[in-house]
């Protein structure tokens, strides 16, 4: 049975020097407190670990290793002490959150992830030059300090290997976290500094692709995936520069001798960032003074706003062209403002149909804006649903989402929304519902209740099994396609089989387009996997 994390009384003086102020976090073997050093007046992060067992030894070792490192990217240890029950380590206090927390919240831009990786590598290069190998580099051990600029601290040197001390692991043990352990260590060999570089490569692949290159629910399968090696980052992020994907791929070379040093990889990452900036400057037009514009976002914003103003009871009439052009301009040069504007325009005309419908749309639009603001240029991707549905091509949405949207959760939401918005549009136009082959009449006019409107729409979805199933399947496929593509022929076959599921319950007339788009998707994935 695991011991409870050690703790202290708030305000009590520890080692006649440190006064704990409030807890910062705790785990199975220790707790961390914000404390005040009464001798210097500095705030410190006071780590408290039970003295008995390996946890106490690891904490003391961690402090010893951290104390010998003097680099802004390595969390500094000020002092280490103990009493009869606990080991106490006072660290530099840097308020922030871990890289793992930032990845889970999907709040890290690509360039920030690359900058964080470069800074981690700079800290590792300093440690390697002093004979220290971290051996447990992972997102949970990288602190992102609060502030406008990316500033990282490398944490937890408790498993570090030094060139002048014995390790705390027995023969045959593989220290570290499985998903970030290099293949040579799994094979029982010593990897040294190259193992830390591998871990940073995994961290970058995960941050840029949105999924882990190796992790599965089975430790055995995860280990086998590591031994096979990671697919090229270019497969998951073909939109990234070749220099960046090549740098990450080099860090994940199966042969440790082929991996760059930490310092060289940090330099390569910064070169990739600077190359991206130079490309943007070359493409920049002096008249507009804006970053390069992709056509998808302006077109989709114009479609959403123009269709809403032209089709719904919008007053004054005839404004749809001007509103569409305004939406396109905002989406081109201020993507988040363009996204918010496009989502806001339908509110008033929907209110002319039904107050409940306008209230429901307002709530959904606010939630959608919060979900997609991090990737605002692709926030209106769902609008392709009504465009593709009339030609039976809704099944292509996962391919489009995989190209335009980085986050799996956002890809799922875009896939589901594309089907549902296509269904609502078909209902307004009096056309057949996608994947259902039938009309649906929904009485929305005059309703003042948002819940009543939501219930009426939900009844339409549940009454047509093909529609609800297709929305779910396309959402799952959109989230999974980048990962399935990286698995080769079996993954591509899995994507095709998944996309064929709606055909099982759809009418015969709707089944043929489903099969056709599934084949087209598999063909596109096959071509991209060979490039």
Q: Mind giving me the DSSP string for 453-519? A: HHHHHHHHHHH-HHHHHHHHHHHHHHHHHHHHHHTTHHHHHHHHHHHHGGGGTS-HHHHHHHHHHHH
Burial class (CB in 10 A: 0-12, 13-18, 19+), 391: exposed
First to last CA, the chain: 52
Q: How far, in Å, CA of 284 to CA of 176, rounded?
A: 45
Q: How far, in Å, CA of 16 to CA of 32, rounded?
A: 18
Pairing state between β 96-98 and 86-92: unpaired
SS3 of residue 144 by DSSP: strand
Per-residue pLDDT of the chain (531 residues; tens, 9 = 90+): 344 455 566 567 888 888 998 888 876 567 889 999 999 888 999 988 888 777 788 888 888 888 888 899 998 888 888 888 888 889 989 899 999 988 887 778 899 999 999 999 999 999 999 999 999 999 999 999 998 899 999 988 878 888 765 554 444 445 568 999 999 999 888 889 999 999 999 999 999 998 899 988 899 999 999 999 999 998 888 878 889 999 999 999 999 999 999 999 999 999 998 876 655 544 443 333 333 345 778 888 888 888 887 877 766 667 778 888 898 888 888 888 988 998 898 888 877 778 888 888 899 889 998 888 777 888 888 888 888 888 888 888 888 887 778 778 888 998 888 888 888 777 766 677 777 666 655 556 666 778 887 787 777 777 776 778 888 888 888 888 776 665 667 777 777 787 777 777 666 666 777 788 778 877 877 776 554
Question: Who contacts 182 (Cβ-Cβ below 8 Å, separation ≥6)?
Answer: 191, 194, 195, 198, 199, 226, 256
pLDDT of residue 27: 65
Q: 150 and 112 in contact (C-beta within 8 Å)?
A: yes
Q: How far, in Å, CA of 287 to CA of 90, rounded?
A: 54
Q: How many CA atoms lie within 13 A of 205 on its CB side?
A: 31
Sign of CA dihedral 422, 423, 427, 432: positive
Q: 201 and 191 in contact (C-beta within 8 Å)?
A: no
Q: Which tokens in the block code for residue 192?
A: 């040294």
SS3 of residue 38 by DSSP: coil
Which domains, from first to last, does the chain contain? Answer: 18-92 (3.30.200.20), 96-283 (1.10.510.10), 298-530 (no CATH)
pLDDT of residue 36: 93
Catalytically active residues are 136
Angle of CA points 425, 415, 484, to nearest 5°: 155
Pairing state between β 152-154 and 142-145: antiparallel
3-state helix, strand, coil in the chain (%, to 5): 60, 10, 30
Q: Which tokens in the block code for residue 520?
A: 């087209």
Q: Give per-residue burial for 430-469: e unless 16+ CB within 10 Å, then b.
A: eebbbbbbeebeeebeebeebebbbebbeebbeebebbbb
pLDDT of residue 174: 52
Angle of CA points 316, 317, 321, to nearest 5°: 115
Q: Which tokens in the block code for residue 78?
A: 């000020």
Query: Alpha carbon 1 to chain centroid distance?
Result: 35
pLDDT of residue 285: 38
Max Cα distance, the chain (Å): 81
pLDDT of residue 437: 60
Q: Dihedrals φ, ψ of 81, to 5°? A: -150, 175
- Specify the DSSP element, H or E, that contains 385: helix 384-388
Q: How far, in Å, CA of 42 to CA of 398, rounded?
A: 53
């Amino acid at each position: 049975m695991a011991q409870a994390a050690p703790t202290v009384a708030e305000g009590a003086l520890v080692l006649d020097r440190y006064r704990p102020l409030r807890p910062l976090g705790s785990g199975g073997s220790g707790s961390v407190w914000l404390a005040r050093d009464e001798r210097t007046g500095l705030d410190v992060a006071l780590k408290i670990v039970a003295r008995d067992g390996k946890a106490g030894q690891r904490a003391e070792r961690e402090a010893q290793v951290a104390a010998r490192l003097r680099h802004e990217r390595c969390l500094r240890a000020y002092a280490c002490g103990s009493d009869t029950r606990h080991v106490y380590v006072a660290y530099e206090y840097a308020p922030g959150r871990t890289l793992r927390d930032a990845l889970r919240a999907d709040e890290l831009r690509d360039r920030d992830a690359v900058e964080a990786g470069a800074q981690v590598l700079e800290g590792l290069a300093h440690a390697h030059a002093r004979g220290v190998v971290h051996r447990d580099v992972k997102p949970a051990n990288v602190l992102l300090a609060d502030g406008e600029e990316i500033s990282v601290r490398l944490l937890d040197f408790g498993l570090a290997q030094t060139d002048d001390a014995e390790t705390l692991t027995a023969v045959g043990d593989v220290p570290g976290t499985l998903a970030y352990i290099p293949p040579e260590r799994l094979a029982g060999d010593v990897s040294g500094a190259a193992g830390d570089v591998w871990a940073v490569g995994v961290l970058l692949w995960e941050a840029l692709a949105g999924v882990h290159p190796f992790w599965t629910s089975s430790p055995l399968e995860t280990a086998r995936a590591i031994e096979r090696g990671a697919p090229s980052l270019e497969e998951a992020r073909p939109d990234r520069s070749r220099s960046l994907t090549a740098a990450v791929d080099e860090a994940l070379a199966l042969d440790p001798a082929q991996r760059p040093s930490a310092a060289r990889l940090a330099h390569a990452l910064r070169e990739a960032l600077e190359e991206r900036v130079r490309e943007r400057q070359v493409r920049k037009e002096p008249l507009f003074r804006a970053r390069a514009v992709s056509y998808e976002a302006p077109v989709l914003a114009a479609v959403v706003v123009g269709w809403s103003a032209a089709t719904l009871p919008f007053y004054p009439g005839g404004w749809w062209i001007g509103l569409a052009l305004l939406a396109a301009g905002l989406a081109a040069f201020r993507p988040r403002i363009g996204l918010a504007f496009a989502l806001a325009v339908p509110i008033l005309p929907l209110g002319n149909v039904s107050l409940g419908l306008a209230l429901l749309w307002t709530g959904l639009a606010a939630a959608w804006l919060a979900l997609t603001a991090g990737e605002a240029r692709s926030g209106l991707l769902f609008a392709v649903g009504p465009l593709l549905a009339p030609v039976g091509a809704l099944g292509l949405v996962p391919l489009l989402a995989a190209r335009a949207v980085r986050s799996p959760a956002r890809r799922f939401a875009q896939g589901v929304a594309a089907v549902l918005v296509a269904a609502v549009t078909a209902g307004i136009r009096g056309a057949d519902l996608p994947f259902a082959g039938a009309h649906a009449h929904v009485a929305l006019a005059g309703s003042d209740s948002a819940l009543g409107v939501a219930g009426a729409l939900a009844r339409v979805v549940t009454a047509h099994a093909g529609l609800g199933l297709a929305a779910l399947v396309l959402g799952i496929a959109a989230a999974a396609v980048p990962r399935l593509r990286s698995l080769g022929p079996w993954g591509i076959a899995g994507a095709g089989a998944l996309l064929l599921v709606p055909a099982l319950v759809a009418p015969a007339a709707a089944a043929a387009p489903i099969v056709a788009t599934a084949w087209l998707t598999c063909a596109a994935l096959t071509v991209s996997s060979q490039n």
